[in-house]
Structure 1
């Protein structure tokens, strides 16, 4: 189910980068990134890293920063050699400006014009290190104390982000701590059967709707959170709805296979849908019909997922390529992957997004 949830979350991210109508993009803006951080918290193995923070640094650097560097380099070269000569908007940007944005981990389109979504990877890296520090301080405390500490870190990140955008989106990493904690707490909970109760879904939908009505859409990359309390309440509620949706999808063979595959290769999908797949689709449509038809958001969504899925299939065939694109060795579809360790680690081909 975790792979399906990750596949659902990255699919929503791809959808959000199309020319989606405002009436649909607004609600989805409150769940896309919170759900990604929520899943990372759910998968965070505190017992494994409690006394070994350097191990966490090494493993997260491999799984997040190597794909960040690889996807950044490849899509920048593509932007420089292919897109910049053809796109007037790209030609107007000095060639070196995106390089500085990439090194800084900027989440502004004019600084990382060649592949904006990449900013999430260093932000997630910083977020997981920050979460280790949070758990180090409060893991033995009652859940209420943990929640208050996570909210305090989150609000601090929101306030910092309103004044300065830190390198590698470290302020967003702080702002995301309540979602890391919520996912982690759900994993530790002795009982999770309440999630299946219809009342839980109705309540989550109600809170999510209230947050949308009172706080409106959000944009984490530009630090447009609105009112922090409603941002977090709406994000938590939306994550619970997304968990229920992922469970439902996992119960059906075809959605389980599709979203599970996208989830196992979420790093490729995230790293190449804007920087490679969307521009190629635009060029193909321009050649075919004389218009890139950016308004066809459904075509770009499905085409972006399909193209990155093909790239992921290529990575499956070449483990060294998978190491560079996904941060871990690959195991071909249908093959038996190594069993998780007793500490609860995931199989190597499952990448923490």
Structure 2
């Protein structure tokens, strides 16, 4: 597939919304963002998926996704755990570990970003946002099977399987959170398959300014939020599954329409969005740890409180130090390889 600039711009908008959602974000804005920001990333992953490329080489597909997603996940969590442990051991004013090291290691292996349901010895990982990496890895493996099924049995049966799979994931999450977010991966099939089909049939025309029925997507998003309330894929809070999918797709189409419109121009905002999109994996991995670690090291409590309690300043803090991390890692060959930069 030829390079489509709007894809990186959409990723950039998405990762910026992740940053805003993790800053001092008012509840109403967080509700809007959480309704579609993770579905957007699953959708884009499905859109850029090419079954034909790995059809005859499954092992190459698994290896590729393992190095791009699983390796950065474990590296990031072990690195942050090491830094926190060293700070806890070497300083007189340690940054207290929220979870003992042993439980943190178990949590990293289990790979859930949310406190487990039901509660058990399995704690969540150290770097919570990285739950998405393991979940996306599982989603890719599952989607490979879905794409193969689609090639053999066609669109209608495939959608039936996808919706049944999503419902199974939804039902499972009511009782237990599966390792590596497998239950979330089941639900993500609705977004990935829709994107895959839209790309397969050329439903997203890159020459158009915006996606047709743009106003309709706003209306559907508004209705889904109004009826379904706050959702969170990581916490398995979907409320009504149908409304969750509708809201996720509606918000995604709005962001894609915006990204496509922005791709027609060359300006600072467009270039920054594209840059953030290309570096979204590193930003996802470190956007909470680096800024907060540095902020907590500032000796002036009033400065910390001022930044932490401001949407603008907390977002700016995370954004600036996330970009700093990207620039730093690009200069270190080992870090560059680990994060596929």
TM score, norm. by length of structure 2: 0.88
CA contact (8 A) 1:108 1:221 kept: yes
Residue ranges of structure 1 left out of the alignment (5+ in a row) = 331-353
Equivalence map 1:68-217=2 (5 Å): 68-82=73-87, 86=93, 90-91=96-97, 93-108=99-114, 111-112=123-124, 114-193=126-205, 196=209, 200-217=213-230
Aligned to 1:266: 280
Q: Shift of residue 274 of structure 1?
A: 1.3
Say whether 1:311 aligns with 2:317: no
Residue ranges of structure 2 left out of the alignment (5+ in a row) = 1-5, 117-122
Q: Shift of residue 177 of structure 1?
A: 0.6
Q: Shift of residue 140 of structure 1?
A: 4.4
Q: Shift of residue 219 of structure 1?
A: 0.9
Aligned to 2:3: none
Say whether 1:61 aligns with 2:66: yes
CA contact (8 A) 1:13 1:32 kept: yes
Q: Secondary structure at the match of 1:291?
A: helix
* Shift in alpha-carbon separation, 1:290–1:184, aligned structure 2, 3 A: closer
Q: Shift of residue 123 of structure 1?
A: 0.4
Aligned to 2:120: none
Q: RMSD over aligned Cα, in angstroms?
A: 2.4
Task: Deviation per CA, 1:33-68: give whole Å up to 9, x if none.
Answer: 100111111111111112222111100000001111
* Shift in alpha-carbon separation, 1:124–1:162, aligned structure 2, 3 A: same
Equivalence map 1:246-285=2 (5 Å): 246-250=259-263, 251-284=265-298
Aligned to 1:339: none
Distance in 1 (CA, whole Å) between partners of 2:304 and 2:260 is: 42
Distance in 2 (CA, whole Å) between partners of 1:290 and 1:8 is: 27
* Shift in alpha-carbon separation, 1:285–1:309, aligned structure 2, 3 A: farther
The equivalent position to 1:232 in structure 2, one of 236, 245, 250, is 245
* Shift in alpha-carbon separation, 1:216–1:288, aligned structure 2, 3 A: closer
CA contact (8 A) 1:37 1:124 kept: yes
* Shift in alpha-carbon separation, 1:181–1:240, aligned structure 2, 3 A: same
CA contact (8 A) 1:282 1:292 kept: no
Distance in 2 (CA, whole Å) between partners of 1:170 and 1:4 is: 28
Q: Shift of residue 285 of structure 1?
A: 7.4
Task: Deviation per CA, 1:246-301: give whole Å up to 9, x if none.
Answer: 12333342122111111111111000011222232243374563636422232222
Distance in 2 (CA, whole Å) between partners of 1:103 and 1:191 is: 39
CA contact (8 A) 1:204 1:237 kept: yes
CA contact (8 A) 1:283 1:292 kept: no
CA contact (8 A) 1:285 1:291 kept: no
Aligned to 1:334: none
Distance in 2 (CA, whole Å) between partners of 1:275 and 1:258 is: 22
The equivalent position to 2:21 in structure 1, one of 10, 16, 19, is 16
Say whether 1:220 aligns with 2:226: no
TM score, norm. by length of structure 1: 0.85
Say whether 1:243 aligns with 2:248: no
CA contact (8 A) 2:114 2:234 kept: yes
* Shift in alpha-carbon separation, 1:73–1:92, aligned structure 2, 3 A: closer
